Amino acid sequence: GSTIGIIGGGQLGRMMATTARHMGYSIIVLDPTPDCPTAQVADDQLIAAYDDMEAIRQLTERCDVITYEFENVDLQAAQYIEAKGKLPQGTASLRITQDREQEKNKIVESAQPVATFNIVQAKEEVHDAIKSIGFPAVLKTCRGGYDGKRQLKLESEADLVEAADFVEKNGRSIIEQWILFDKEISIVFTRGQDGDITYFPVAENTHKDHILHTTVVPARITESVESKAKQAAASIAETIGVVGTFTIEMFVKDDAIFINEMAPRPHNSGHYTIEACNVSQFEQHVRAICGLPLLPIYFHGAAIMINLLGEDVASFMQYINEIGKGHIHMYGKKENKPKRKMGHVTYIGKQLDSLEQELINTQLIHTK
């Protein structure tokens, strides 16, 4: 059979590898940490840094197809693999999602709505940049942030000193208008090498301390918002030439959407697809990169996914053992740290209202 290489050894790689092995593929993961979550379910691991070109050469030699589980793949490494004809996803998705400036420009180029933004290169530019945006706003580094890290909310003039320090320390950054959204949603979809797209149902996401906490599906949005979300996905996917599973995070305000950011890979908010759909975001991704036709997607009706962070695991496991209903996923991380994603639980049902009521009654989820 064929061998798939995965760059990055976290939980996304682990779930990708588990699925790919069911389908008969062998897996080699590249990650610097021995026995990382993906290595535990892979056939072999290359223990090396992600930008170690010798390891990249070896991986390319030994694999038929290579993919990644995170977007900060070294671009030179990605270009090398692409030149060898083994990176069906290409490098454009990576280049664009590695940098918020390029990402926002692509969204605009795709004629899709974003919060008003300005790029600042140096601290002197902060003052002018905020003028056309106003307060509240948010300052984010163009590269490298996740889980709300390297972001600063700007409420008033008084925050501009801190903002200038932030830019001096972090370099090129983006200032965005703060959207007073009604809710956050995401759309996970897969685009095949032939350009076919399948969409998973739109998910509604709640964050806690900037980290995804709960995903509820189907999102409680109007048909008009749902079709805007799908059109945005189609248009951005075409502009970039996406291959594989891809995710777009959005804000919903009344009948409007604003694109927040995107990820060129399966996403935490798509984990519900493992149990709640006939084909998961991981399986569809493997099909896309291996050149198999995508499967039509059927959804069972309702899903609620809750992330298990380090500090939640003990109490949650107790609940789960008592109730015994959720589908448990643990990622095999060795060290339990607060705020670290250790696993998730998915509840599925036919109907969202009753599923949600059940979980509220058991205090597994809280109403706002």
* Residue in the structure block whose two tokens are 């995070």: 249
Please report how close the Cβ of residue 97 comes to Mg ion at its closest, in angstroms.
Answer: 8
Residue 36 interacts with ligand ATP (CB under 6 A): yes or no: no
Q: Does 208 bind ligand ATP (CB under 6 A)?
A: no
Name the minimum Å distance from CB 249 to Mg ion. 5
Minimum distance from CB of 5 to Mg ion (Å)? 24
DSSP string, 343-365: EEEEEEES-HHHHHHHHHHTTSS
| Residue window 139-168: x/- pattern of binding to ligand ATP, with contact defined by CB under 6 A | ------xxxxx-------------------
Question: If we measure between CA atoms, which residue out of 185, 168, 173, 155 comes closest to residue 117?
Answer: 173
Residue 117 C-beta: closest distance to ligand ATP, Å = 8
What is the maximum alpha-carbon separation in the chain? Answer: 61
Site size toward Mg ion (CB under 5 A) is 3
* Smaller CB separation from Mg ion, 134 or 148: 148
Measured from the CB atom, the residue of 123 and 150 that comes closer to ligand ATP is 150
**Is 138 a binder of ligand ATP (CB under 6 A)?**
yes
- Residue window 237-256: x/- pattern of binding to ligand ATP, with contact defined by CB under 6 A: ------------x-------
The answer to the question of whether 177 is labelled as a binding residue is yes
Which residues on adjacent β-strands are paired with residue 328? Answer: 345
In whole angstroms, what separates CA 109 from the centre of its chain? Answer: 22
Question: Does 176 count as an annotated binding residue?
Answer: yes
217: enclosing H helix or E strand? strand 211-217
The encoded tokens of residue 64 equal: 């038929």
What's at 274, amino acid-wise? I
> Is there binding between residue 260 and ligand ATP (CB under 6 A)?
yes
Q: Which is nearer to ligand ATP, 149 or 366 (CB)?
A: 149
Q: Does residue 176 interact with ligand ATP by CB under 6 A?
A: yes
Report, in Å, the least distance between residue 206 CB and ligand ATP: 9
Got the DSSP string for 7-57?
E--SHHHHHHHHHHHHTT-EEEEE-SSTT-TTGGGSSEEE-S-TT-HHHHH
In this chain, which of 99, 261, 283, 356 binds ligand ATP, going by CB under 6 A?
261
Q: CA angle, corner 102, sides to 291 and 185, nearest 5? A: 70
- Judge whether 347 and 360 are in contact, CB under 8 Å: no
Residues 126-155, mask of contacts with Mg ion (x by CB under 5 A): --------------------x---------
In angstroms, the CA 126 to CA 348 distance is 47
Place of tokens 């248009």: 235
If one asks whether residue 135 binds ligand ATP (CB under 6 A), the answer comes out as: no
Is 178 known as a binding-site position? yes
The response to whether 257 counts as a known ligand-binding position is no
Rg value, the chain, Cα: 20
Measured from the Cβ of residue 182, the count of other Cβ atoms closer than 10 Å reads 15
Nearer to ligand ATP, 167 or 297 (CB): 167
Please report whether residue 129 would count as binding ligand ATP according to CB under 6 A.
Answer: no
Interface stretch with ligand ATP, choices 42-50, 172-180, 327-335, 355-363 (CB under 6 A): 172-180
Q: Which of 156, 146, 3, 152 is nearest to 65 (CA)?
A: 3
**One-character DSSP codes across 232-282:** HHHHHHHHHT--EEEEEEEEEETTEEEEEEEESS--GGGTTHHHHBSS-HH
Residues contributing to the annotated binding site: 100, 140, 176-179, 184, 207, 260-261
Instruction: Please give the residue ranges that form the binding site for ligand ATP (CB under 6 A).
Output: 115, 138, 145-149, 176, 178-179, 181, 184, 207, 210, 249, 260-261
Q: Which residues are annotated as a binding site for ATP?
A: 100, 140, 176-179, 184, 207, 260-261
- Binding residues for Mg ion, rule: CB under 5 A, are 146, 249, 261
